[in-house]
Amino acid sequence: MVEPIKHETVLDPGAEQVGKTYARALIGAAARAGVADDVLGQLDTLVDGYLASSDKLAAAFASPRIDEAEKSRIIDRLFGGEFHPVLINFLKVMGKRDRLGYVAAVRTASESLRDEMLGRVVAEVRTAIPLDDHSRNNVISRLSNTLGKQVRLVETVDPSLIGGMVVRVGDTVFDSSVANQIEKLSRKAKDGFSRELLKRFESFSGSGS
Partner 1 sequence: MKFSSDEIASVLQAEIEQFDSKIDVREVGTVLEVSDGIARVYGLSGVMAGEMVEFPNGAIGLAFNLEENSVGVIILGNYLTIQEGDEVKALGTLLSVPAGDAVIGRVLDPLGNPLDGKGPVQSSVTRPVEIIATGVSERKPVSEPMQTGIKAIDAMTPIGRGQRELIIGDRKTGKTSIAIDAIINQKGTGVKCFYIAIGQKDSAIASIVDVLEKNGAMEFTTIVCAGASAPAPLQYIAPYAGTAMAEYFMFNGGHALVVYDDLSKQATAYRQMSLLMRRPPGREAYPGDVFYCHSRLLERSAKLSDALGGGSITSLPIIETLEGEVSAYIPTNVISITDGQIYLQPDLFFAGIRPAMNAGISVSRVGGAAQTKAMKKVAGGLRLDLAAFRALEAFAQLGTDLDTATQSQLDRGYRMVELLKQPQYRPMSVTDQVLSLFAGTRGYLDDVPIKAVSKWEKDFLEWIHSKHAALINEMNDKRDLNDDITTKVIAAIKEFKSGYKIG
Given the rule CB under 8 A, which residues bind partner 1? Answer: 6-11, 13, 16, 168, 170-176, 180-181, 184-185, 188-189, 192-196, 198-199, 203-209
Residue closer to partner 1 (CB basis): 98 or 158? 158
Residue closer to partner 1 (CB basis): 24 or 84? 24
Q: Which of 90, 72, 76 is nearest to 30 (CA)?
A: 90
Backbone CA torsion sign across 15, 73, 27, 171: negative
Backbone CA torsion sign across 105, 48, 62, 69: negative
Helix pair angle (13-33, 36-44), 10° resolution? 140
As measured in angstroms, the least distance from the Cβ of 93 to partner 1 is: 26
Residue closer to partner 1 (CB basis): 6 or 56? 6
Inter-residue contact 127 to 158 (CB < 8 Å): yes
Q: How far apart are CA 68 and CA 43, in angstroms?
A: 20
As measured in angstroms, the least distance from the Cβ of 200 to partner 1 is: 9
As measured in angstroms, the least distance from the Cβ of 176 to partner 1 is: 5
As measured in angstroms, the least distance from the Cβ of 16 to partner 1 is: 7
